[in-house]
Amino acid sequence: MEKNKLNLQFGIVAIMIILAALSRLLPHPDNFTPITGMALFGAAHFTKKYWAVLIPLAAMWVSDLVLNNVVYASLYPEYYNGMVLMGDYWVYGSILLIAFIGMRFLQHVKILPLIGVSLVSSVVFFLLTNFGTWMSAFGMTTYPRGLAGLLECYAAGIPFFRSTVLGDLFYVTVLFGAYELIKSRFLSLEPKKKLSL
């Protein structure tokens, strides 16, 4: 019975992460995405922590395949020649780091720590992905090398940061809130804790 409960919990958490990743295919403001929410949700709820990394990365990869090869390829054919197998490595790196932050600080899910971790994760995503932009071929032709160019790249990313924070808070609220609702209204998903003296 306990194993069935864990399998059900795993399935619900995995499906919620996959649905969140697929929401990237819907029209949305720039940077208003489920990336942080997926990573933190998986980190908080998968009992085997490698799933907290693998499932959000796999869901992100599948949604990237569709976005890059169907949506963006038709909108920007001059930039998308042939099959694009991977999205931005810096985004995947930020998912990894955010998942590790979630594993460390969300062992017990409480509202205020969850908001704090979400905001820290927004900053981590901003810093890593803008650094990646500056390091990319696009960045090398757009921004000067050196600290001044890196700061210019970060400054160019500031208008998108508000959407990042709002998207992170939105998806964290939806994922964690929906899961708590499912748990409380339909079934008991949390495995029973062993009592110790």
* HEC sequence for 101-127: HHHHHCCCCCHHHHHHHHHHHHHHHHH
Q: How far apart are the first and last CA of the chain?
A: 25
Domain containing 82: what range? Answer: 2-185
Task: Judge whether 192 lies within some domain.
Answer: no
Average pLDDT, the chain: 87
Structural domains in the chain (count): 1
For 186, the 3-state DSSP assignment is: coil
Question: Is residue 92 very low, low, confident or very high in pLDDT (cuts 50, 70, 90)?
Answer: very high
Task: Judge whether 181 lies within some domain.
Answer: yes
Query: What per-residue confidence (pLDDT) applies to 184?
Result: 83
Task: Judge whether 112 lies within some domain.
Answer: yes
User: Is 186's pLDDT higher than 90?
Assistant: no
User: Is 196's pLDDT higher than 50?
Assistant: no
Query: What per-residue confidence (pLDDT) applies to 7?
Result: 74
Task: Judge whether 44 lies within some domain.
Answer: yes
Task: Calculate mean pLDDT across residues 8-14.
Answer: 83
Task: Judge whether 195 lies within some domain.
Answer: no
Report whether 71 contacts 88 (CB < 8 A).
no
User: Is 45's pLDDT higher than 70?
Assistant: yes
Task: Calculate mean pLDDT across residues 44-50.
Answer: 89
- Name the packing angle between helices 2-22 and 147-185 (round to 10°): 130
C-alpha distances in angstroms, 157 versus 56, 122, 131, 150, 186?
24, 12, 10, 11, 42
Task: Judge whether 35 lies within some domain.
Answer: yes
User: Is 144's pLDDT higher than 60?
Assistant: yes
Task: Judge whether 28 lies within some domain.
Answer: yes
Question: Is residue 5 very low, low, confident or very high in pLDDT (cuts 50, 70, 90)?
Answer: low
User: Is 4's pLDDT higher than 70?
Assistant: no
* 131 exposure class (CB count in 10 Å sphere: 0-12, 13-18, 19+): middle
Task: Judge whether 171 lies within some domain.
Answer: yes
* Across 81-90, 93-102, 130-139, 162-171, least confident range: 81-90
